[in-house]
Structure 1
Amino acid sequence: MKITQIRSATLIVEYAGKRFLVDPMLAPKDTYPGFPGTPNNHLRNPTVELVTPMADILAVDAVIVTHTHPDHWDHAAQALIPKTLPVFVQDASDAEIVQSAGFNDVRILREGSSFEGIALTKTQGQHGSDVAVAAIGALLGEVSGVIFKHPDEKTVYLAGDTVWNDFVKSNLVKYLPDVVILNSGDAQFLGHGPIIMNKDDVLSVHLAARNATLVATHMEAVNHALLKRTELRAFAAEQGMAHCLHVPEDGEAFTI
């Protein structure tokens, strides 16, 4: 497989001969205001420009939207992505949102979903701690991940916007993924802590799945993402997991 880090949580996953665009945020730098109630909300999003040509980003076979927060499914993506492409979403509510933007092939991920012979299974996650969800759960919303499985490929677990918790732990045990893609930018809400993984969460995943290759994404492109790539790489070296953790720069592609 080949994974290309586009920007923030936006990836292209080339798997079993098909190209999937994941969580597209495609607007130019500084298009949107910072998220209210978060650190550094004086900054505008995205905080960096795209470095991958748009033609390459859009040359895909399908789109996966793990949830419809604007840093995963923005207005630019809705305008630029061809309306005929299949778009996979987590539930009926998100399907309605995507359909309202004019997309006519919207598919809800389920246990037995597939695309061109590739099994796609929705997984659960939680967009923050139990305390954060109890306090601002309506704002954080529902999130999901995806398992990619094919006889000719390694199994991939795209965790989505979640912190380390029992959902993630059980997914690792159930699906035994060879590759785990983690949203690792330590994005936070003021007073409520991280709402995606921080460096300690990445370590927890490594300790629970020592044979898996980890990929860190969703870093350095939105105002409330606090963990820098250099910091995560240094932490990985300290913890003895640098050999199995990719922390790609925007525009970087690599094979696994």
Structure 2
Amino acid sequence: MKVTRIGGPTVLVEWEGWRILTDPTFDPPGRTYSFGFGTTSTKTAGPAVALEDLGRIDAVLLSHHQHADNLDDAGAEVLGRAATVLTTRAGAKAITHPDIRGLAAGESTTLQAPGRPALRVTATPGRHGAPLTRPIVGPAVGFALTREGAERPGLWMTGDTVLYGALRAAVTGMRPDVMLVHVGAVKFPISGPLAYTMNARDAVELIGLVQPGVAVPAHVEGWSHFSEQEEAAARIFDAAEPPVRDRVRWAPLGEAVDLG
């Protein structure tokens, strides 16, 4: 499996002939976006891979559609190029696409294409903020992808979520080959200390529960509302006890990294 971190939550995964893109964000930097209820964020870095250089996309894993740091305007163009889009039930209702599939946590669907192994995709729980914030922030999910005939996932993308009980219960002992872990500790001045995604300490705990072969951090730079950016997160991962510390592997922006 190869992964290319493009920026923010956007990662290109090349696996067994499949080309899978997560949470596409391709707008240039400098624009400030509204996230509702008086919250805003500025995009501070552009994509490390240009839209015209992206190539074929077989499927998009869209953890949620309602926030520009997971689906911006140029990123929405990518959805039209993709053969299949997997997202939340709400996202499937809001986005027009010939093959868009909305999943709630625990629901599954199968990706199939000639000459490639079938991939079973199961949505995992996500809560994009503190308890009772879902009516404000909306739903979000992660995705676990399992190759046909395999006993455990080859890939798990956490999506934008905090660390909470239902997530712990669903993924403890999952042991995917590769885990894409969204961090960044999203915060806004209007809601003070409340975080809307995990920080690196949360991710360390989650990695310890999940036991992936490799954990690749994402959603950790490129936006002003990420209160814990890459350098700060890296210090925490570096200070973690083994085996968690040894499982974390950073993918340099724009570089295809072969994870085996």
Give the TM-score of the pair, scaled to structure 1: 0.85
Q: Who is 1:127 aligned against?
A: 128
Give the Cα–Cα distance (whole angstroms) in 2 for the partners of residues 124 and 80 of structure 1: 25
Find out whether 1:108 has 2:102 as its counterpart. yes
Report the Cα offset of residue 47 of structure 1. Answer: 1.0
1:41-72 CA distances to partner (integer Å, 9 max, x unpaired)? 5x62x210122132332421121211102221
| TM-aligned CA distance change 1:80 to 1:234, over 3 Å | closer
Report the Cα offset of residue 34 of structure 1. Answer: 5.7
Q: Who is 2:165 aligned against?
A: 166
Q: Is the 8 A contact 2:176 2:211 kept in 1?
A: no
Q: Who is 1:178 aligned against?
A: 177
Give the Cα–Cα distance (whole angstroms) in 1 for the partners of residues 124 and 99 of structure 2: 21
Give the Cα–Cα distance (whole angstroms) in 1 for the partners of residues 246 and 215 of structure 2: 10
Give the Cα–Cα distance (whole angstroms) in 2 for the partners of residues 142 and 234 of structure 1: 30
Q: Who is 1:218 aligned against?
A: 219
Taking only the aligned residue pairs, the percentage that are identical comes to 24
Q: Which amino acid aligns with 1:23?
A: D
Report the Cα offset of residue 245 of structure 1. Answer: 0.6
Report the Cα offset of residue 119 of structure 1. Answer: 0.7
User: How many equivalent pairs are there?
Assistant: 244
* Alignment RMSD: 2.3
Give the Cα–Cα distance (whole angstroms) in 2 for the partners of residues 75 and 26 of structure 1: 8
Q: Which amino acid aligns with 2:240?
A: Q
Q: Who is 1:64 aligned against?
A: 61
Give the Cα–Cα distance (whole angstroms) in 2 for the partners of residues 8 and 231 of structure 1: 15
User: SS state of the match for residue 249, structure 1?
Assistant: coil
The runs of 5 or more residues in structure 1 that have no matched partner are none
| TM-aligned CA distance change 1:168 to 1:212, over 3 Å | farther
| TM-aligned CA distance change 1:209 to 1:79, over 3 Å | closer
1:193-238 CA distances to partner (integer Å, 9 max, x unpaired)? 2111101101111322345421110011112101122222222222
1:135-174 alignment, distance < 5 Å? 136-150=133-147, 151=149, 155-173=154-172
Q: Is the 8 A contact 1:183 1:217 kept in 2?
A: yes
Find out whether 1:250 has 2:246 as its counterpart. no
Give the TM-score of the pair, scaled to structure 2: 0.84
